[in-house]
Amino acid sequence: MKKYLSLVTFSHTIFAMPFAFIGFFLAISTTNHEFSWLKLVLMIICMICARNAAMAFNRYLDREIDAKNPRTKMRDIPSGRITANNALLFTIINCFIFITATYFINLLCFILSPIALLVVLGYSATKRFTALCHLVLGLGLSLAPIGAYLVVTGEFALLPVLFSLAVLCWVSGFDIIYALQDEDFDRTEKLHSIPSFLGKKNALMVSNVLHIFAALFVIVPLFFTTLTWPYYIGLTIFIGMLIYQHQLVKPNDLSKVNFAFMTTNGIASVAFAVCFLFDIYYRHYL
């Protein structure tokens, strides 16, 4: 189990899972649907399995590339801790569990489940033909809030889409920062990324723009629903972490990329979600 948790870098679940909770409880607080422990558990299962499948497939598809890259050659498949076939089997098992879980949620989620898997698994191939691969990754994670909203309601709405757009821009932006580390390697191997296409300085500018839009998309919900001071605190922390990570990473200094990628974004997502959930509790129960 420890090897497979390493394979899928389970700690990175901290990015999308908090936004899934936002989508789930947004649905409960803004509609007539009641809280259901079963739906919450099924939502968590779907989140974990979809991400497990996406990451395992990424490692499977990139195994030869990872073996060549000094930064990634010690990952589980290149180092021999997990075989490629076992990684692929793990992907298939998680896809099956994901689709099965959606069957017990509602018809819309079940119908959309193959499309969701196509997006999150398809990301792994995009670096081979487009520098927009970061946006595809962002799109995959952006399914979390709207998908969780659909678990509760079985229908689309504007508010969860706004949070999904925020996740799309936020994740795409910080993935560009993370990809700065592989700029030279990507060029050598003819892989596509914003840093290898535009260079470090311009890539950071693109990341900045995406994070500005991410900030705007978490502000816009204020105009569509009632939100109070806990949400404003979460908003401040989230935007503050966006700004802070851009202070840490410079074109000529990538020494703090991992800290900017993992720590600041982990704080941003968890703090924002906690404040959002407390806002709901404050408005409805206090």
Residues constituting the chain: 286
CATH number at residue 116: 1.10.357.140
Domain that holds residue 255: 2-285
What pLDDT sits at residue 193? 96
d(CA 126, CA 129): 6
What pLDDT sits at residue 227? 92
- The answer to whether 16 touches 52, Cβ cutoff 8 Å, is no
Single pTM value for the model = 0.94
d(CA 169, CA 16): 13
For helices 17-30 and 265-285, angle between their N-to-C axes, nearest 10 degrees: 20
Of the candidates 18, 27, 225, 14, the residue with the CA atom closest to the CA atom of residue 108:
27
Looking up tokens 């930064």 gives 71
Query: pLDDT in tens for each of the 286 residues of the chain?
Result: 777 777 767 777 888 999 999 999 999 999 999 999 999 999 999 999 999 999 999 999 999 999 999 998 988 899 888 999 999 999 999 999 999 999 999 999 999 999 999 999 999 999 999 999 999 999 999 999 999 999 999 999 999 999 999 999 999 999 999 999 999 999 999 999 999 999 999 999 999 999 999 999 999 999 998 999 999 999 999 999 999 999 999 999 999 998 888 889 999 999 999 999 999 998 887 7
What pLDDT sits at residue 285? 76
> Structural domain tally of the chain?
1
d(CA 112, CA 100): 12
What pLDDT sits at residue 2? 75
